[in-house]
Amino acid sequence: MPMMKAHIQSGHTREQKAVLIGAYTDAIAKTLGMPLPTIRVMLEELPPGASGVAGVIDAPLTIIEVFMMEGRTELQKADLIDGLTKATAESLGVFGESVRVLLHDMPKINVGIGGKSAKALGR
């Protein structure tokens, strides 16, 4: 079920984005033990002038949000944060320090799969 959205700055090639999506998918699969068909990754490109760090427009930044069902251990979460940060740095050539990862634990009753809650499906 993990779904993630990465807010990245514009200007990367289609190939870079394909590598990044693959690296994110691999990091999620590896750290959470999820089958590939359950993993969803979205990239959202920030146009020039639409982001800033410490008041500096277009300063390097990547913000990653991961929405996943509750129940992951602290170690799994730490490994996921590390894996996604490394995937970003290696795929886009940015410093890991410019990457922020936000993990959202979702109660199973709040996750819908094919019209039913994950809880109702016994997940």
Question: Which pLDDT score, from 0 to 100, does residue 82 have?
Answer: 98
Q: What are the C-alpha distances in Å from 100 to residues 35, 60, 97, 118, 120?
A: 25, 11, 8, 28, 33
Question: Which residue numbers are catalytic?
Answer: 2
Domains and CATH numbers, the chain: 3-117 (3.30.429.10)
Per-residue pLDDT of the chain (123 residues; tens, 9 = 90+): 899 999 999 999 999 999 999 999 999 999 999 999 999 999 999 999 999 999 999 999 999 999 999 999 999 999 999 999 999 999 999 999 999 999 999 999 999 999 999 999 998
